[in-house]
Structure formats: structure tokens, C-alpha cells
Amino acid sequence: MAPETYPRNTLDILEAEAVYVIREVAAQFERPVMLFSGGKDSILMSYLAKKAFWPGKIPFPLMHIDTGHNFDETLEYRDWWMKEIGAQLIVRYVEDSIRQGRVAEEEGPNPSRNAQQTVTLLDALTEFKFDCAMGGARRDEEKARAKERFFSFRNRFGHWDPKNQRPELWNLYNGMKRPGEHFRAFPISNWTELDVWQYMLREQVPLPSLYYTHEREIVRRDGVILALGPYNRLVDGEEAETAWIRFRTIGDMTCTGATESRAHTLEDIVNEIAATRVTERGGRADDRRSEAAMEDRKKQGYF
Amino acid sequence: MEYKTLVKERDLLRFTTAGSVDDGKSTLIGRMLFDTKQIFQDQMDQLEVTSRLRGEENVNLALLTDGLRAEREQGITIDVAYRYFSTAHRKFIIADTPGHEQYTRNMVTGASTADLAIVLIDARNGVLTQSKRHGIIASLLGIPHVVVCVNKMDLVDYSRERFEEIVADYREFAQKLSVHDIEFIPVSALKGDNVVNRSENMSWFEGAPLLQFLENVTIAADRNLVDFRFPVQHVVRPHQDFRGFAGQIVSGTIKVGEEVVALPSMQRSRIKSINFYKAELEEAAEGQSVILTLEDEIDISRGDMIVRRHNIPEVEHEFEATLCWMDERRELKTDTNYILQQTTNRSHALVDEVLYQLDVNTLHRRTESETLRLNEIGRVKVTTAKPVFFDPYERNRNTGGFILIDPDDFRTVGAGMIRYSSRSTIEELKREERAKRLKTPKSTGITWDPGLVGPQDRIRRQGHGPLCVWLTGLSGAGKSTIAKEVEKRLFDEGYQITRLDGDNVRHGLNADLGFNREDRRENIRRVGHIARLFYDFGAIVLCTFISPYREERSYVRALFPAAPGAAAEPGAAGDPNQTDPSSPDAAGPGTPPTPPTPAGTRPAGFLEVYTKASLAEAERRDPKGLYKRARAGEIHGFTGIDDPYEEPEAPEIILDTDRLSVDEAVEQLTEAIRRASAL
């Protein structure tokens, strides 16, 4: 009799690992929260959370930091998805932080609220006394994230110090902390963009329509295709056009770039990603501002 | 679709790379990403800009992997960075770590999850301290496969001789390591030779290029599918009728209906169901995150471990471990109450003592140090407040690894690998030391494979410890007579026992040997190793050999664990026969200092029994008529007649058969064996 080898593939391994990390967070922290942006990575993460505790409920709330610059589709999907996975949702608004004078709107045309959402996030963590916030960041997204831990330590100011991170050995995650300190945890650290899409395909996870091809009014700015809308208007000299596009990431409307694509099924997307020549962050205007852009934002508490 | 093959399901290989900037490590990774077309257009654009700003002519592939700004400015990488790429066959996760001595901490971290390690050697420099260090760390962390890339072959004219010279050097060094699989590949990361594509400049090299090797190396066999270990992470209880234990199976497999016990309570039950999301599984294996339910309501919470009833890990408060210190602010303190985290279990823990510090460049042991500082590695003894459920790290990386957490600010300050429970390690160490001083083996390039069944497993099943009982004495002194009776008695009592007889082995195994000095030596050498195999099998083995020379008997004794407490506690239990065995080679010149031993150790694995009879009495008995023939000159070199018998100087037991009856001698020896093999 041939010995049973119990074969596993990459997706099984990544799923088991993410589920393990999510359960560790639930077990090690008193008040964890999972952040939800409406993007595919946070959809994946919340889907894994549902699987991790089934038939139990997800034992922590999900939180959306609403920049106020969201696509309508994102918000519709968000509310539907929360019911689908049986999760409790908290929403906090960057708009409120601006109104309360906690943070100022960026100046100039088409202001981005990326920096501002960090303030709203940190305020919300304090408000609810959350001690660990799970995010859907992946290490393959950007160079600065390649060194991020699964359990990322933040000091009392919510800051990330690359020199003061705890070594992570085997699958032992140390979430012990003093009062005021907290953690970010990244259950899908080891997933690549292609893994995410292959998994979505395998599991047939329903996704917002923005990820599939659709016809939309766009503008090409600095080589990035941006959707036109109330928060993204034409600047002098720019011209609007109509194109078949889809989004590879979904964030704030002002900075999420689209790609021209005719992919209208998950299979199409998987094949497109497998053949693609540009990183998904290549379409994000905020990363292009400086080479070490991500690192700067991370130090301030951005995900 | 032409790229359909890219998106089929693949397996996953995690590997670590260690090496300094000078070795071309970042260039090697960059080359792998570049040649497998994993570098995206926008990354490439950015790279060109950066390279140009730095005034470099060509695109600097190393910049692809140098992440943080501070590092880019210093031109070195200072932390573990994870990279991802995939081919049609596999997905790869690279834990990229700096190779400098002060970054041992990072190398250890990167190595902890790796299936394979790539060690880089600069072909111009050959095997340097640092390439040895990487091998040593890979070995300590139990990485099953090592690939040595001899880089910069373009700078030595792709010389086959140079490559082979380095291979020979490294192989010699690697014999000291417990790495099972080691491979050598000559490459030029800069020019792309043998990284992804086969080198045209080195047609003499018949092995696979690096990437092809990484794609094909078998890692499935590295998994421990024997010992079912399920550390409970979280209890899921949505309603009264469902109480599930969530966790990841860290080793072994489990089926519905199997009998299990929960540690530490030792309560028994059976697996009622294995769930993951909406699926109900019949069976699950190592690596899977699942939820188990049990037939019985037993109290289990986070930190407990569910295991198979007949395969239980060590449950101990004390053990020895190899510890790597990771904290730059404070050194290891023996009076600090650290927090030990192992699987999902946490306990307070004290590091009682540093037995020795290990030089990660040479494997030398330094016993003078009483602490460990940042990046230092040593063997320590640990005591925990709660029992820890573990397997030796060599056998199970997931239950043998732990971290130490500082009780004040909760930083992770140490990473440990449990070697054995405290009792057996010391014995193991002493045996290693002695083995080193024996004859150098002729066979090289072989490594010891410990297998999946350990000594503790056999002891648990057998109910007694293994033992080699060596009866020496003149022909006719009564060795075989006594041994046969003892064997029968203990066999009837349920002992796993066997006998090696001097005459019997000369029928087969040693039929090619005569009775001259050289052949007698070889006879005993072979028998000693056979006895050791029985010992490893967990048996009690009785050996009856005249074995007239002290030298040979010392040789055999050295093959077995010595009594560690013997020197510290002379005359154990006041037994007049239980004399203190002075280790025959303990005081030899150049003897490495042996670590201090804890109390409460197991008895020795070897009992020397001097079956003593006067020559006159033996000759009177002459059961086989051999003395008569020797006196008649028909046999030459007969012990006692024309060849000396060197009396044992310090045997554990003396049976004086001139005075004792056979029954008395049998009784005395039987009792001594019962005692020596008791748990």
C-alpha cells in the first residue's frame, strides 16, 4: 500500500495559515477589530474570518473608515456583504474628523484623503479601546511591506518603527503588550495578488462589480487612469473619455487607478493577472509621490 | 489560453537566503525574479531611475530586494524581508536575511520557517567563516535541504577545478552538521549562469540550474505525518450542542473515531467530527486549520493539546534547549522570570543555567560563559512553571520551538529549540564527545538520520529503558550459563531482551575473523555496534565475550550513554557492586570540558559485569575442553594460557563464580538489570 501523502497546494496552505493568524488574534487580544475597506483583500480576509469560526460567529466587529470618497458600488456591496457573513460593522468617517478639526483637508484640486484616514482610524481605535486591528495588507504589494510582520507592534502613538519590531519565529506570534500599546495584524501577508484571485475563483466569492469590466468616464492623469466622479473632476487641459475598464484595487476614488480590461469573469481576471506586466500598486497615484512613499505613510500609522 | 499553465494549482516552497552584499545575494534573488519575468514594468522603470541616480551603468538587480530607505542609504539589508515569486510548478516564499554575524538573529528568524536554505559562497574567496555560519544556523534550525551556490564563477573563468575545490572544502565541514540533503551549484548571479537558465560557460556541470532544482526538490517527505499534535487555539461554542476546538494540526494526521487524550488533564475521548467551515472531514493532516469536536464533554481550553492516546509527546517542566538570544538591550539573566510561548501555550520560565555557548562560526563549545548576549547561541537548561508538551525539535519543529518574552515590556528576546528532555541530553552530549575521540570513520559524506521513532517512544512502549550488559571473563567463568538464565527470567517477566554470544557471532557475522590481536579487536568492535543497534531498538542486550583487553571494552563502553550522575554521586544507593565507573577517556589530553549534570538522571546504558573465576577453577570446569587443547598446543593465543586477560578496573558488577552458586549469580545480575532499566 502506498503511503498516504496528503497533498496540499499553495491555496490550502495560505488559507490554513490565515485562519490560524485570525484565530490567534481572537484568542490573544481582548478587543480586536478587523478593518474593512471594501477592497478585494479585505473581502478575502473577512471571508476567511467567517470560515475560521464557523459554525460560530465572527467574534469581533469589522470597521470601515469611510473617506467619503467611495464608489457607490463599494458601499452597497459592503452592507450586503456584512449580512452575508453575519458580521457586525462599525463605520467611522473622515468627514467627521475634518469637521471636528482633527485634521485638515488636503489643498488643491481633487484632494486625497489617504493621510486623513489615518487620523480617523487612530481616533476610532482609541474610542473603542481596540487593542489589535487586522488589515488586509500583503507583503508582495510594496517593498516597504516586505519586512512587515504578521503581528506588527505599534507604540502608544500608533506609530510603526521598523527598527523596533519583534522577530517572528515559526508560527509563534507574540501579542503581549503594555497598556496603550497596540497591534496591527496581517493574516494574508503571504498571499500574492494572483493567489487572492485564484482563491476567489476557487471559492466563488462574490465581489463588487467594480472589479469586472465596465464602461466608465475616465481621465488619464500622469499615466494613471482615474474614474471621473464628484471627487475627481477634470483639471485644466485634461479631457474626459469613455473606456472599458476595471479596478485591480479599490480605495479612495481620488487615487485608485483603473486598468483597461475586458475581464468579466473570475477566470478572465486570473488569466489577466497571470499575464500582467504592471504591479497593482502601479495604478495607485499615492504611491508614486515618492519612492519611499509607503514607508513614510506606514510610520504614521497607515496600513 | 497560452498562460493557462501559470495558473494551475501549485505547491509551496519556503526558502531562506543568507549571505552578505558582497556575496551577491540580492543580485541572485534579483536575477531569479528577473529571469522568471516576475519583475513588473513599473518596478523595472523605478529600478532604472534609481540605478541612474546612483550613477550605475546597468540596472542594479540588487535594488529590487533592498527594501527600506535606511538600508538603501547604507547599502545593506538589516532585517528579514519576504519575497514572492512563482513558476508553473511552485510558489516560492523567500525569507531574505543579511548574512553578517551581528544579524544571526535575523538568520535564525528566516530559517525558522524555511524548507530549504541557500548558502552563497564567493568563488574567489572560497569557504569563509560566514558560509560556515550559514550552514550551522541552517542545521541548528533543522532546515532539511541546503543548496550551496558558488557564485561569481565568471570571475574565476568558470573553473571546474575551483568549484570542485570549494565543494570538497564545504563537504568536509558539513559532516559536522545534521543537514540531510546538501547540493552544490556553480552560478554567476550577475551574468545569469545556472540561476534560471543552464550555463553555456559551464557545460561541465551536469546538475540542474538553481531554479530547476528549487522547482523539483522533494519537500513532501519533510513533513511529520506520524505524531498527531493539535494545540488548541480557541474554543468555538455557538450553541449548547456544539463545542469545537479550533486549531491547526501541527503534525500527524487524525481520523473521526480515533481515540485521543487532552493534555495536561490526560482525559480520554474520541474524535466526533472534524470540521472546516461547511465541510465535515473524515480525516485531516498536518498543516490544516480545522475544528475538532469530541464524543465526551471534557474540559479543554487554549494552550491544551489534543494528541493520540498511544502517541503522547513529552510532558515536562524541565528540558534543555539551544537558545538564540535576540535582545540588544539586555543579556540573558538566570534570575528573570521570562514568559515562554510554545505552540499556543504560555508559561513562566527560568533559564537555570547556560551549559555552554556555541560559536556559530566553528561549532566550538565554550563553557566559561554564564549568559548569552544579542546574536549568541547556547545550550541552556530551562524550567517552566507549567508543564510543556513538546517533542525534540529535530523531530518536530512546531512542538520543539519556543520563544522567550521579556516580562517587563513583552519583547521577544529569545528563540529556543528543545533538544531533549533534560535527562537524556547530557547522555547524548557525553556520547558525542566520546565518539569524536574514537577512530575516524572511513566512510564519509554520510549523515545520521534519526528517523521518526525516538528512544522515548520505544521506552514508553516497552515499559523499560534499554541497556547493554557486557559479561567479560575467562572462558569457563560462567558468562553464558548465567546470561542464558537471566535472559529467560527477564523474558518471562515481559522484558524485551536478547543475547549476543561469543561463539554464536563467529558462526556468521564474524566467521571471517580469527583470534589474533587485530581480529579480536575487530570482533569486539562489530559486536559493540550490533549491541548498540539492539540498544537503539530499546532492548536489553546481554553480551557474553571473553573480551580480554581493556582497550576494546572501553571502546564498547564509549558507544553507550554513561551514567551522568555517577561522578557527582559516587556509590549510587550504597550498593557495593555499583561502583563508580570512571569513564576510561574522561581524563585524556585535550578532553573537552563536559557540561555539569543535573540530579535525577537515568542510570548508565552500559553495565560491565566481570564474571570472575580463578584460572584454576575455570580450567577445572573446562566446559568445552578448550583449556585441554590449549595446554596440548592445539590452540594458540588462548586467553589465560598463552594470552593475557586484563582484569576490569572498575566494572559495575563483579560476579565471583568461585564463591557464588549459579542461582545466586543469576539473581544478583537479574536484580541489577531490573534496577538499571527501570524508568
Cβ distance A24 to B67 less than 8 Å, yes or no, reads: no
Query: What ipTM was predicted for this assembly?
Result: 0.90
Q: Which of A79, A211, A62, A190 is nearest to A137 (CA)?
A: A190
Task: List active site positions of B.
Answer: 547
Antiparallel, parallel or unpaired: β B345-358 and B289-294: unpaired
The residues near B493 (Cβ < 8 Å, ≥ 6 apart) are: none
Torsion of CA B404, B144, B79, B68, to 10 degrees: -140
Smallest CA–CA distance, residue B658 to chain A, in Å, is 58
Cβ distance A169 to B233 less than 8 Å, yes or no, reads: no
pLDDT at position B508: 84
All structural domains of chain B, each given as residue ranges with its CATH number in brackets, are 4-219 (3.40.50.300), 229-308 (2.40.30.10), 315-427 (2.40.30.10), 454-561+602-677 (3.40.50.300)
Antiparallel, parallel or unpaired: β B338-342 and B267-276: unpaired
Smallest CA–CA distance, residue B149 to chain A, in Å, is 24
Q: Is B466 left (phi over 0), alpha (psi -120 to 50) or beta?
A: beta
Residue A18: which H helix or E strand, with range? helix A10-28
Cβ distance B42 to A20 less than 8 Å, yes or no, reads: no
User: Sign (positive/negative) of CA torsion B439, B442, B447, B450?
Assistant: negative
Q: Give yes or no for a contact between B226 and B260, defined as CB atoms under 8 angstroms apart.
A: no
> Would you write out chain A's pLDDT as a tens digit for each of its 303 residues?
344 668 788 999 999 999 999 999 999 999 999 999 989 999 999 999 999 999 999 999 999 999 888 888 889 999 999 999 999 999 999 888 888 888 888 777 767 777 788 889 999 999 999 999 999 999 988 777 788 899 999 887 777 776 678 899 999 999 999 988 899 999 999 999 889 999 999 999 999 999 999 998 888 887 788 888 877 788 888 888 999 999 888 877 777 788 888 999 999 998 888 877 666 655 555 554 444 455 555 555 555
Task: Give domain A10-194+292-299's CATH number out of 3.40.190.10, 3.40.50.620, 3.40.50.800, 3.40.50.720.
Answer: 3.40.50.620
Nearest residue in A to B4, CA atom: A271
Nearest CB to B3: which of A16, A189, A275? Answer: A275
Q: Give yes or no for a contact between B618 and B476, defined as CB atoms under 8 angstroms apart.
A: yes
Mapping DSSP to helix (H, G, I), strand (E, B) and coil, where does residue A126 land? Answer: helix
What cell does B532 get? 548498540
Cβ distance B405 to A176 less than 8 Å, yes or no, reads: yes
What cell does A246 get? 476595471
DSSP state at residue A288: G
Q: How far apart are CA B552 and CA A188, in angstroms?
A: 61
Q: What is the pLDDT of residues B67-90, one digit of tens each?
A: 544 455 554 445 788 888 888 889
Nearest CB to B220: which of A5, A51, A276? Answer: A5
pTM of the model: 0.73
Cβ distance A162 to B412 less than 8 Å, yes or no, reads: no
The mean pLDDT of chain B is 83
Q: How far apart are CA B418 and CA B314, in angstroms?
A: 11
Choose from A170, A176, A271, A278 for mutation: most chain B CBs within 10 A: A170
Number of helices followed by number of strands (H, E) in chain B: 17, 28
Extents of the domains making up chain A: 10-194+292-299, 205-287
Smallest CA–CA distance, residue B249 to chain A, in Å, is 10
Q: Which of B55, B59, B72, B65 is nearest to B17 (CA)?
A: B65
Q: How far apart are CA B377 and CA B414, in angstroms?
A: 10
Grid cell 542461582 in the structure block, residue: B663
The residues near A244 (Cβ < 8 Å, ≥ 6 apart) are: A213, A214, A215, A260, A261, A262
Q: What is the pLDDT of residues B640-670, one digit of tens each?
A: 888 889 999 889 999 999 999 999 999 999 9
The yes-or-no verdict on residue B104 having pLDDT over 80 is yes
What is the interface size between A and B, counted as CB pairs within 8 Å?
A: 184
Using an 8 Å CB-CB cutoff, list chain B residues near A225.
none
Using an 8 Å CB-CB cutoff, list chain A residues near B242.
55-56
Q: What is the pLDDT of residues B317-367, one digit of tens each?
A: 899 999 999 998 899 999 899 999 999 999 999 999 999 998 888 888 888
Cross-strand bridge partners of residue B404 = B340, B414
Residue with more model confidence, B131 or A150:
A150
How large is the C-alpha radius of gyration of chain A? 19
CA distances from A149 to A33, A46, A241, B282 (A): 18, 19, 42, 35
Burial (Cβ within 10 Å: 0-12, 13-18, ≥19) of residue B234: buried
Q: How far apart are CA B507 and CA B513, in angstroms?
A: 10
Q: What is the pLDDT of residues B479-526, one digit of tens each?
A: 999 999 999 999 998 899 999 998 888 888 888 888 888 888 889 999
Cβ distance B248 to A171 less than 8 Å, yes or no, reads: yes
| Secondary structure of A230-286 as H, E, C letters | CCECCCCCCCCEEEEEEECCCCCCCCEEEEECCCCCHHHHHHHHHHCCCCHHHHEHH
Q: How far apart are CA B656 and CA B585, in angstroms?
A: 27
Cβ distance A174 to B288 less than 8 Å, yes or no, reads: no
Antiparallel, parallel or unpaired: β B11-19 and B116-122: parallel
Cβ distance B70 to A57 less than 8 Å, yes or no, reads: no
The letter for the amino acid at B528 is G
Using an 8 Å CB-CB cutoff, list chain A residues near B92.
none
Burial (Cβ within 10 Å: 0-12, 13-18, ≥19) of residue B441: exposed
Q: What is the pLDDT of residues B276-299, one digit of tens each?
A: 999 999 999 999 999 999 999 999
pLDDT at position B40: 67
Cβ distance A56 to B68 less than 8 Å, yes or no, reads: no
CA distances from A104 to A100, A119, A120, A126, B411 (A): 10, 10, 12, 20, 36
Smallest CA–CA distance, residue A8 to chain B, in Å, is 7
Using an 8 Å CB-CB cutoff, list chain A residues near B398.
170-171
Smallest CA–CA distance, residue A96 to chain B, in Å, is 34
Helix B422-437 to helix B550-558 angle, to the nearest 10 degrees? 140
How many Cα atoms are found within 13 Å in the side-chain-facing hemisphere of B655?
Answer: 32
Phi, psi (deg, nearest 5) at residue B30? -55, -40
pLDDT at position B393: 93
The yes-or-no verdict on residue B591 having pLDDT over 70 is no
The yes-or-no verdict on residue B157 having pLDDT over 90 is yes
Q: Give yes or no for a contact between B90 and B216, defined as CB atoms under 8 angstroms apart.
A: no
Residue A294: which H helix or E strand, with range? helix A293-299
pLDDT at position B311: 87
Q: How far apart are CA B494 and CA B415, in angstroms?
A: 43
Query: End-to-end alpha-carbon separation of chain A, Å?
Result: 51
Q: Give yes or no for a contact between B540 and B669, defined as CB atoms under 8 angstroms apart.
A: no
Q: How far apart are CA B79 and CA A88, in angstroms?
A: 37
Using an 8 Å CB-CB cutoff, list chain A residues near B38.
none
Using an 8 Å CB-CB cutoff, list chain B residues near A262.
none
Number of other CB atoms surrounding residue B511 within 10 Å: 8
pLDDT at position B3: 39
Q: Which of B547, B306, B604 is nearest to B427 (CA)?
A: B604
Q: What is the pLDDT of residues B12-70, one digit of tens each?
A: 999 998 766 667 787 888 888 888 777 666 677 777 777 777 776 666 776 666 554 44
pLDDT at position B565: 40
pLDDT at position A239: 87
Residue B541: which H helix or E strand, with range? strand B540-544
The yes-or-no verdict on residue B181 having pLDDT over 80 is yes
Strands in chain A per DSSP E: 32-35, 62-66, 89-93, 132-134, 151-154, 182-185, 214-221, 224-227, 241-247, 257-260
Choose from B107-116, B436-445, B509-518 the range with maximum mean pLDDT: B107-116
